[in-house]
A and B are shown apart, each in its own frame.
Chain A
Amino acid sequence: MVEEIVRNLKKDFRVEFRNRSALNLAVAFAGITTLAISLATGGVPFPANIQSVVLWIIMFFCAMNGLAHIFVREEEERTSLFLSLNSSHESIFLSKLIFNVIFFLVLQMIVCPLYIFFLQLQIKSPAVFILTILSGGICISAGTTILGAMVSKAGGRGSLFTIISFPVLLPVLWVAIATTTRSLEDEGYSNYGNIIFFLAFSGVIIAISFLLFRYVWVEE
């Protein structure tokens, strides 16, 4: 099983890096939306809560733009049968999950520094800020992995992915925005309850996705 997951991950990274167009698009999208926001505001500083709302909206749409790709590609290139003949559905799900988590972390690495730099964010509690970004990002990428598989089976339309992801990710976005606001405003804010919420959410969502994935992936 572990060997299969590693094999799948290797393959996914190889394929993605050899044909970088999708990766490039997602990265460019992340950079451009962040830039566009700061250009549009012309450097006027926002209040903290608006800053965190905009930051999470950008990240949400970056996720919507990039995270379904790993499954949609298998359908578009008609390789999904080859994939399922060679790996069990459990290892397919786990390897795609790991890929998405890493991929979204990379996107966040692009969005957040650019955003902080261009909008001159003053972060009062950096530890909480960073932890919120990371754990919220894990929630988003973990929650959307199985939805990406569903979308790929439904023909891979981009807007469908956003529509079905939004209600599921709403609690994450709410809590993430609230916590980010606090970390921008309050000095020495050290309430980690929300981080625990994120971990609980991603744990539950991964477990249920793992159970449901076979119904989405396997033809019976």
Chain B
Amino acid sequence: MEEKKYTIRIEAVSKRFNRQHLFRDISFTLGTGTSLSLTGPNGSGKSTLMQIIAGIQSPTRGTVAYSCNGSEIPKNEFFRHMGFISPVLNPYDELTGYENIIFSAGKKRSEEEINGLLEKFQLYEHRDKSLRFYSSGMKQRLKYILAVINDPPVLFFDEPGTNLDRSGKDILYSHIESIRPGKILFMATNEKEESSLCMEEYRIG
């Protein structure tokens, strides 16, 4: 398969809630193979900026543009090209872990691939349990699987390590390390360990 180069261009993005500016005039460009961590104190707008870049929220001013090999991707199609982890993104509590994965992946992924990921994140024996009975750490691991299951070229991780124990974090970081080349990776985090996974750091606030 031919190598696809994705680019995300953020131009003069500002966000304002009611009368308060969260941030102003943020601009940068990222291409495939690069990674960026967003750091900053609580309430500085890390998550909001990430959601704006992912197209989930709209900026008050400014534009976010996506392109693949030079041709523009419309905003509403961009969801197909990204994986996303965030506290605002919740899978279905009534479905089992496996059903949630199938809902996200459809028939595109084989049974072995799914089971492989489940085993890697120690969820295999819980695959047929409803999410209602998952612990928060297990849910976080499932969210990670859901974000990467379709092998998206752009990844947005908002504090991927929350609620994970030591071993969970180790598995997570090594997996991020292994898939990072060939992707665009955004990470909003305040953990040194997580931001050190990224090539660059952007501080806001």
Instruction: Mark A residues whose CB is within 8 Å of B.
Output: 3-4, 7, 11, 14-15, 18-19, 77-79, 81-82, 84-86, 88-89, 214, 218-220
Contacts and interface: CB of A to CB of B under 8 A. Distances in A.
Nearest to A15: B94
A12 B183 CA distance: 33
A180 B133 CA distance: 49
Main secondary structure of the interface of B (DSSP, over half): loop
B89 A81 contact: yes
Contacts of A89: 76
Main secondary structure of the interface of A (DSSP, over half): helix
27 contacts: A3-B106, A3-B107, A4-B106, A7-B102, A11-B99, A11-B103, A15-B92, A18-B130, A19-B94, A77-B93, A78-B88, A79-B92, A79-B93, A81-B90, A82-B89, A82-B92, A84-B79, A85-B82, A86-B103, A88-B76, A89-B76, A218-B76, A219-B55, A219-B56, A219-B57, A219-B58, A220-B75
Contacts of A88: 76
B91 interface: yes
B103 A7 contact: yes
B58 A220 contact: yes
A7 B56 CA distance: 23
Contact of A14 (B55, B82, B95): B95
Contacts of A79: 90-93
B95 A15 contact: yes
A64 to B, nearest CB: 24
Nearest to A4: B106
A85 B79 contact: yes
A30 B63 CA distance: 50
Contacts of A18: 94-95, 130
Nearest to B57: A219
B126 to A, nearest CB: 17
B98 to A, nearest CB: 12
Contact of B92 (A77, A85, A214, A218): A77
Contacts of A7: 102-103, 106
B42 to A, nearest CB: 21
B67 interface: no
Contacts of B76: 88-89, 214, 218, 220
A13 to B, nearest CB: 11
Given A78-B90, A218-B76, A220-B76, 5 more contacts: A14-B94, A19-B94, A81-B56, A82-B104, A219-B56
A81 B92 contact: no
B84 interface: yes
B76 to A, nearest CB: 6
A4 B93 CA distance: 20
Contacts of A214: 76
A11 B82 CA distance: 22
Contacts of B57: 219
A172 to B, nearest CB: 32
